């Protein structure tokens, strides 16, 4: 989901210029990728509905709606009949919904395939299934990386290993990005491709969501769990997802389960991205994207490349300088107090 509007929560206001800019970049980014590779990311612009199933949900939705409208976001309050005209399979008797026309979606697996093909076409060498074991430092500066297949020399290394970014060796502890894995269990049910149950992305009152894909899969997501790199798919996780989906769209109970999987969101200490200098000369960080890494793909690429080429972060990315987590150097007074 490319959900700059409906995902914005109180406290996340500094992130909004970045998410909105990325949302603005997405249509051209998807088109250019398709032109360069022949692979479509299945960019879809029907928009997103956030549904309230009862009065409690409606009060809470009104609260978010007022907050997000106050930020200037383009959202529309719908009554139950208006919402069910857009999505007739929503449960009769829902309380209300909010329509966000600008929150679109792409197929993230197709995006990865397209990016790999576009990089190769541009002359990038990709070594797959070849872990970087260590960032090699020479005199405190980056000299390259050690991989399972040997050493690669480089003046600049971009650390973009998602939830694993802290695990990469060779980086002094003080400069390791403080990211942790935030587990998400997901499942997909198979709709009739010719007559899909839903066309919009639908957000549910418990924070879950339903995303209809072009191939007829309906993605039901996602749990949010602090369990390290635990890959277990649990009965409780699937139950939570299915129950929330069924309460909004009861007809899903007829649909076959197509797939289940687990992913890890890279969460930083303040849950915001880390883009730019690591504190080690030549080591640039692009991680901590948490639940917005797909949305933030085009803007992250633009910010990181601008930083590498000019040494400057664009204004909108300054709040996400990884140096915000650097430990302050001890002051003379603190030293004297020891």
Ligand X SMILES: Cc1cc2nc3c(=O)[nH]c(=O)nc-3n(C[C@H](O)[C@H](O)[C@H](O)COP(=O)(O)OP(=O)(O)OC[C@H]3O[C@@H](n4cnc5c(N)ncnc54)[C@H](O)[C@@H]3O)c2cc1C
Residues of this chain that bind ligand X (CB under 6 A): 1, 131-132, 160-164, 168, 184, 186, 221-222, 263-266, 287, 289-295
Least separation in angstroms between CB 39 and ligand X: 18
Nearer to ligand X, 82 or 214 (CB): 214
Apex 22 CA angle, 21 and 23, nearest 5: 90
Query: What residues contact 159, with CB distance under 8 A and at least 6 apart?
Result: 135, 165, 168, 171, 177, 278, 283, 284, 285, 286, 287
3-state secondary structure of 164: helix
Contact 187, 242 (CB under 8 A): yes
Least separation in angstroms between CB 309 and ligand X: 21
CA-nearest of 146, 175, 173, 177 to 161 is: 177
Nearer to ligand X, 175 or 264 (CB): 264
Nearer to ligand X, 37 or 300 (CB): 300
Tokens matching residue 285: 């960080």
Using CB positions, name the residue nearest to ligand X.
Answer: 293
Least separation in angstroms between CB 190 and ligand X: 19
Question: For the chain, how many residues are written?
Answer: 338
Least separation in angstroms between CB 310 and ligand X: 22
Least separation in angstroms between CB 31 and ligand X: 19
Nearer to ligand X, 87 or 225 (CB): 225
Write phi, then psi, for 314 (nearest 5 degrees): -60, 155
Nearer to ligand X, 84 or 300 (CB): 300
Query: What is the residue-wise DSSP string for 9-58?
Result: -TT-GGGHHHHHHHHHHHHHHHHHHHHHHS-----B-S-EEEEE-SHHHH
List C-alpha distances in Å: 179 to 15, 83, 238, 285: 17, 39, 26, 11
How close are the terminal C-alpha atoms of the chain, in Å?
50
Least separation in angstroms between CB 106 and ligand X: 9
Apex 228 CA angle, 223 and 234, nearest 5: 45
Least separation in angstroms between CB 1 and ligand X: 4
Nearer to ligand X, 154 or 160 (CB): 160
Nearer to ligand X, 8 or 95 (CB): 8
């Amino acid at each position: 989901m490319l959900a700059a509007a409906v995902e914005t929560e109180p406290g996340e206001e500094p992130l909004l210029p970045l998410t909105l800019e990325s949302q603005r970049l997405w249509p051209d980014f998807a088109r250019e990728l398709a032109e360069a590779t022949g692979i479509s990311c299945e960019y879809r612009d029907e928009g997103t509905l956030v549904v309230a199933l009862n009065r409690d949900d409606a009060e809470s939705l009104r609260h978010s709606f007022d907050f997000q409208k106050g930020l200037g976001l383009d959202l529309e309050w719908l009554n139950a009949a208006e919402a069910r005209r857009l999505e007739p399979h929503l449960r009769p008797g829902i309380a209300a919904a909010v329509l966000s026309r600008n929150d679109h979606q792409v197929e993230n697996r197709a995006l990865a395939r397209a990016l790999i093909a576009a990089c190769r076409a541009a002359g990038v060498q990709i070594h797959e299934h070849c872990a970087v074991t260590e960032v090699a430092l020479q005199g405190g500066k980056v000299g390259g990386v050690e991989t399972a297949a040997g050493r690669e020399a480089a003046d600049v290394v971009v650390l973009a290993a998602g939830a694993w970014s802290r695990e990469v060796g060779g980086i002094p502890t003080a400069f390791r990005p403080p990211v942790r894995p935030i587990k998400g269990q997901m499942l997909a049910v198979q709709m009739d491709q010719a007559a899909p149950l839903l066309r919009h992305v639908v957000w549910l009152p418990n924070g879950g969501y339903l995303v209809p894909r072009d191939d007829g899969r309906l993605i039901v997501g996602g749990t949010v769990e602090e369990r390290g790199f635990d890959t277990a798919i649990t009965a409780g996780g699937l139950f939570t997802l299915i129950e929330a989906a069924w309460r909004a769209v009861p007809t899903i109970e007829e649909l076959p389960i197509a797939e289940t999987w687990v992913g890890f969101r890279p969460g930083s200490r303040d849950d915001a991205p880390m883009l730019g200098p690591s504190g080690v000369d030549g080591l640039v960080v692009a991680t901590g994207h948490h639940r917005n890494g797909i949305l933030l793909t085009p803007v992250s690429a633009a910010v990181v490349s601008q930083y590498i080429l000019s040494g400057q972060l664009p204004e909108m990315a300054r709040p996400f300088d990884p140096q915000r987590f650097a430990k302050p150097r001890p002051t003379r007074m603190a030293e004297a107090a020891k």
